[in-house]
Amino acid sequence: MTQDPLVASAIAHWGPRFTVNGVTVADFERVTAGVEQWSDWCVAWVEAGDAHEQLGREALAEGRSRSAGEHLAQAAVYHHFGKFVFVEDLEQMRAAHTRAVACLDDALPHLDPPGRRVEMPFERSWLVGILRLPEGEGPHPVVVLLPGLDSTKEELRSTEETFLARGLATFAIDGPGQGEAEYDLPIRGDWAPVAEVLWETLGEIPGIDRDRLGVWGVSLGGYYSPRVAAALGDRAKACVSLAGPFDFGDCWPGLPQLTRDTFRVRSGAETDDEARAIAHTLSMTDVAADLVAPLLIVFGRQDRLIPWRNAERLRDAVAGPVEVLMLEDGNHGCANVAPWHRPRTADWLAAHLTTPPPTDTKDGS
Beta strand pairing status for 140-146 and 125-132?
unpaired
- Which residues 6+ apart lie within 8 Å of 71 measured at CB? 52, 53, 55, 56, 59, 107
138: Cβ contacts below 8 Å, ≥ 6 apart: 169, 206, 207, 208, 209
Strand partners, 121: 126
Distance from C-alpha of 212 to C-alpha of 269, rounded to nearest angstrom: 38
Q: Which residues pair with 350 in a beta bridge?
A: none
- Our answer to whether residue 219 is catalytic in this structure is yes
Query: Which of 190, 171, 174 minimizes the C-alpha distance to 182?
Result: 174
Query: 0.85 cut: is pTM over it?
Result: yes
> Given this model, what pLDDT does residue 48 score?
98
Q: Helices H, strands E: what count in the chain?
A: 12, 8
What is the pLDDT, as a whole number, of residue 1?
Answer: 59
Task: For residue 40, count other CB atoms closer than 10 A to its CB.
Answer: 13
- Give me the pLDDT at residue 3, please: 79
In the set 65, 67, 125, 219, the catalytic residue is 219
Peptide bond into 147 cis (omega under 30): no
Could you give the residue ranges of the DSSP H alpha helices within 84-156? Answer: 90-107
User: What pLDDT is recorded for position 358?
Assistant: 47
Single out the residue of 265, 247, 240, 261 nearest to residue 353, CA to CA: 240
Q: Exposed, middle or buried by CB within 10 Å (0-12, 13-18, 19+), for 206?
A: exposed
Nearest of 251, 335, 260, 261 to residue 298 by alpha carbon: 335
Q: Whole-angstrom Cα distance, residue 54 to residue 67? A: 12
pLDDT, one tens digit per residue, over 214-243 is 999 999 999 999 999 999 999 999 999 999
The partner residues of 324 in beta bridges, in order of sequence, read 297
State the Cα–Cα distance between residues 353 and 142, nearest whole angstrom: 8
- Domains of the chain (ranges plus CATH)? 1-112 (1.20.1440.110), 114-365 (3.40.50.1820)
- Which H/E stretch holds residue 208? strand 208-218
One digit per residue, the tens of pLDDT, for the chain of length 365 reads 577 899 999 999 999 999 999 999 999 999 999 999 999 999 999 999 999 999 999 999 999 999 999 999 999 999 999 999 999 999 999 999 999 999 999 999 999 999 999 999 999 899 999 999 999 998 999 999 999 999 999 999 999 999 999 999 999 999 999 999 999 999 999 999 999 999 999 999 999 999 999 999 999 999 999 999 999 999 999 999 999 999 999 999 999 999 999 999 999 999 999 999 999 999 999 999 999 999 999 999 999 999 999 999 999 999 999 999 999 999 999 999 999 999 999 999 999 999 654 444 455 44
